[in-house]
Amino acid sequence: MILKQILLAVIGLSSGFGIAGGIFAFILSIGVINRMAASTHTARHILMYEDSILLGSIFGNVLSLFHLSLPAGLAAEILFGLFSGIFTGCLAIALAEALDLFPVLMRRANIYRGLGLIILFLALGKMSGTLLQFYMGWKK
């Protein structure tokens, strides 16, 4: 019985490391970290960006795996939601940029001005939908 538990633990950890490595390779390959460092003029802190993402992922996985809760209050939940949203938005925009989505879309739709407004309204729509989902209590 104990051998079975050890084997399951080894398989689970190995699978988790493989998936996490793939996700980090994906994030690095589309250049999210480099673009954020370049646009904020903090390229000298690029290792801190990478360490923060790695530690945040490990911490999030531990909280998720062991169903731990942190009694931090509403302010911490708001900050967590804000930072999670910023990261998800940066990842989505970097992926769209890597695929040259916006230039192709703008040429095909004959839109030559207003890209900033289009991205702003996409972000506001995503935010409104997420707030509505939380307010209404909808589940996936």
128-137 pLDDT, tens digit each: 888 888 778 7
What percentage of the chain carries pLDDT values higher than 70? 95
Asked whether the beta carbons of 73 and 107 are under 8 A apart, the reply is no
Query: In this structure, how many other beta carbons lie within 10 angstroms of the beta carbon of residue 32?
Result: 22
According to DSSP, residue 81 is labeled H
Q: How confident is the model at residue 37 (pLDDT cuts 50, 70, 90)?
A: confident
Question: Which comes out higher in pLDDT, residue 61 or 49?
Answer: 49
According to DSSP, residue 113 is labeled S
Per-residue pLDDT at 139: 65
Question: Which comes out higher in pLDDT, residue 35 or 139?
Answer: 35
Kindly report, residue by residue over 93-106, the tens digit of the pLDDT: 777 766 677 777 77
Per-residue pLDDT at 81: 83
- Is residue 104 left, alpha or beta, with left meaning phi > 0 and alpha meaning psi from -120 to 50? alpha
Whose structure tokens read 């480099």?
Answer: 34
Per-residue pLDDT at 107: 80
Q: What is the DSSP string of 2-70?
A: HHHHHHHHHHHHHHHHHHHHHHHHHHHHTTHHHHHHHHTT-GGGHHHHHHHHHHHHHHHHHHHHTT---
> The pTM is what?
0.51
